[in-house]
Amino acid sequence: MIVATTQRVLRQLRHDPRTVVLMVVVPSVLMVLLRYVLDSARVFAVTAPALLGFFPFLLMFLVTSVTTLRERTSGTLERLLTTPARKLDLLLGYGAAFALVAVVQVGLAVAVSGGLGLDLGGALGPLLLVGLLDALLGVALGLFASSFARTEFQAVQFMPVVVLPQLLTCGLFQHRDQMATVLQWLSDVLPLTYAVEALQRSVAPAGADAVYWRDAGILLGATLVAVALAAATLRRQTP
């Protein structure tokens, strides 16, 4: 059932080129825009690694939450749940389909960033890994958020609640040790914090050290928890 769901979602995406462009091309376009907005190769080299994780996270959250909600409101999900398929199997199928798209998305964004002057050194593998984990986290949180929305507009409204607090406290705009203590505590429990730290460490001279692998493990754990919560809260239909 996981494979069948994955194939079905990929077929649907193939017939929706606008969504494919949004997921695959837009992060690369944003990286190009960032490079010329900053107009500094040095500043771009510092900022780009973190945003290589944030842009896929944001877009995959939006697309996944809306797509899953559409499946529920159209009755597709309810029909599937009348079969022997388990909710977790269906969600893993959705996650696998979007994960395949995320591989292309992150790979293209990293390649474009390298062409814009980001020195990847030997960090290509670690950078791709965390970028992919970040995209998968966006998928998992999108699946979870879709369980609480009744309309596509409500699904989009979850973005300020789920995404923006993580963006503001992850250390991208201000070093975490310079934030108020309460905000430091908040950032400690938000997974995007560890994505930013891992991405920054992946291009540092030391490379993928123990802290990098710890952060990658936390990202993977947060993704699995979000998928489990989505399976526990998924309803057959929108009331």
pTM, two decimals, is 0.82
Note whether residue 93 is domain-resident: yes
d(C-alpha 33, C-alpha 112), whole Å = 11
Cα–Cα distance, 238 to 125 (Å, whole number) = 41
Q: What angle do CA 176, 137, 207 make, to 5 degrees?
A: 55
Percent of the chain clearing pLDDT 70 (strictly above): 89
**Residue 163 included in any domain:** yes
Q: Tell me: pLDDT of 185 over 90.
A: yes
Is residue 64 domain-resident? Answer: yes
Indicate if the pLDDT at residue 238 is higher than 50.
no
pLDDT in tens, 54-95: 888 888 898 888 887 877 777 666 666 566 556 677 778 877
* Percent of the chain with pLDDT strictly greater than 90: 11
Please compute the mean of the pLDDT values over residues 124-149 and round it to a whole number: 84
Please determine, for residue 205, whether its predicted confidence score (pLDDT) is greater than 70: no
| Residue 23 located in a structural domain | yes
SS (H, E, C) 105-132: HHHHHHHHHHHCCCCCCCCHHHHHHHHH
Domain boundaries, position 178 = 2-233
Number of domains in the chain: 1
Look at residue 217 and tell me whether its pLDDT is greater than 80: yes
Residue 186 lies in a domain: yes
Q: What is the pLDDT of residues 33-55, one digit of tens each?
A: 988 888 888 888 878 888 888 88
* DSSP of 189-236: H-HHHHHHHHHHHHTSTT-S-HHHHHHHHHHHHHHHHHHHHHHHH--S
**Residue 211 domain-assigned?**
yes
Tell me how far apart the terminal alpha carbons of the chain are, to the nearest angstrom. 26
**Pick the residue with more confidence: 233 or 25?**
25
Q: With CA atoms as reference, report the closest residue to 202 among 132, 134, 121.
A: 121
- 188 pLDDT band, cuts 50/70/90, is very high
Q: What is the mean pLDDT of the chain?
A: 82
Residue 238 lies in a domain: no
Are the CB atoms for 130 and 219 separated by under 8 Å? yes
In this predicted structure, the answer to whether residue 218 has a pLDDT above a threshold of 60 is yes
Q: How confident is the model at residue 132 (pLDDT cuts 50, 70, 90)?
A: confident
